[in-house]
Structure 1
Amino acid sequence: MTLSRPLPAPAAGQATGQATAPLLSADASALLIVDVQEKLAPAIAGGAAAVERIRLALDAASALGVPVVASEQYPQGLGPTVPELAERLPDGARFAKTHFSCLREPGFAERWSALGRRQALVCGMEAHVCVLQTALDLVSAGIETFVLADGIGSRRDSNRDLALRRLTTAGAIALPAESAVFEWLGDADHPAFKPLIARIRNSGV
């Protein structure tokens, strides 16, 4: 993998490819939504539930000022991001790709570096292909990599489970959407706490 610009350096004391069990921080992280597209999502086992968890994370990111990037794998064939997510994405958040790993797509390194974030919360489809390759490359690049365990999916549950096992073994940190929201909040006195708690209750997470 060749990156035309360096990604942000790991946090002090963090070795590349090694997790130090950090908490997810709204000030240090970005949400990376991988290939949740109209012609792919319906084929995913538990796809509707995964989309709902991703939507919860996206709503929390919007409320807390967490940057969002959303990839689309060959959108001419797989279609755009599903409407329930697309309507919530900030302008310019989507980018098309053909590489399975986002990090290997020309221009992604520049896009990520411009965010200035040392943590990534990764979610999307398919867990054992594009999510896996993207997250492994993020870990290798020294980015603290979190995977939204209930916001990833594959056509087969067994493929999803194997991907999640491989990612955690490689140093990624798996967590559910509710944990991500609470870690981003950090404090019950946060002004977004009550609205996001209501959102969690309504989501059924």
Structure 2
Amino acid sequence: MLIRAEESVLVVIDMQERLVPAMQAPARTIRNTRTLLASAHEVGVPMIMTEQYPAGLGRTVPELTGTPGAIVLEKMHFSCMEDETFAETLGGLGRRQVILAGMEAHICVVQTCASMIEQGFEVFVVSDATASRTLESEQACIARLSVGGAGIVTTEMVVFEWLGKAGTPAFKKLLPLIK
């Protein structure tokens, strides 16, 4: 099953100021998420970013803010799908594929992904743009979601599947982000 730009929505979960420094490989995670956001914008994929209890955990890190068209939603539930505003926003986009990146992998990413699969979405978790405080938690997240029906992908897999072919203006614009 290919990831198709016209069927996708990118969801970035809780990459916030007080969470990021505690994560495994935070620079890699932020860099790859920036690539996903820029690519989604370029190919017309809607983007939703969440913030878990921003009064306590801070806002989305500055490196990821300012992407034109990105919708930012506050939440309190660990599963984004339990938040009515998020669920309505996602449903209103009319897309069946969800590309997930986020923090913490073993909490909010796992619960969101499981809920989305239960509700019939085709979900792809971007392993190199998803993090937890410990490597064990990250690995447990990926293993659980893999057997639970999620596709486990990398940033480059998503970008090249969205692009579909070389030589286009979008390909030329995004290529420097991947090299």
TM-score (norm 1): 0.85
SS of 1:27's partner is: helix
The 1:155/1:71 distance shift into structure 2, 3 A limit, reads same
Which residue does 1:67 correspond to in 2? 46
Which residue does 2:20 correspond to in 1? 41
Is structure 2 residue 31 aligned with structure 1 residue 52? yes
SS of 1:192's partner is: helix
Counterpart-to-counterpart distance in 2, 1:63 and 1:41: 26
| Residue identity (%) | 42
Which residue does 1:156 correspond to in 2? 134
Is structure 2 residue 119 aligned with structure 1 residue 119? no
SS of 2:5's partner is: coil
Q: How does 1:1-205 map to 2 (within 5 A)?
A: 22-90=1-69, 93-201=71-179
4+ runs deviating over 3 angstroms: none
Q: Could you give the per-residue CA deviations for residues 67-109 of structure 1, whole angstroms, max 9, x where no partner exists? A: 0000100000000000010122525x10100000000012222
Counterpart-to-counterpart distance in 2, 1:193 and 1:120: 21
SS of 1:142's partner is: coil
Output the aligned Cα RMSD. Answer: 1.0
Q: Could you give the per-residue CA deviations for residues 39-82 of structure 1, whole angstroms, max 9, x where no partner exists? A: 10010011111111111000100111100000100000000000
Give yes or no for contact 1:42–1:48 (8 Å, CA) kept in 2. Answer: no
Give the number of the structure whose alpha-carbon radius of gyration is greater: 1
The number of residue pairs the alignment matches comes to 179
The one-letter code of the counterpart of 1:35 is D
SS of 1:184's partner is: helix
The one-letter code of the counterpart of 2:10 is L
Q: Deviation at 1:197? A: 1.0
Q: Deviation at 1:199? A: 1.6
TM-score (norm 2): 0.97
Does 81-90 or 43-52 show the bigger shift?
A: 81-90
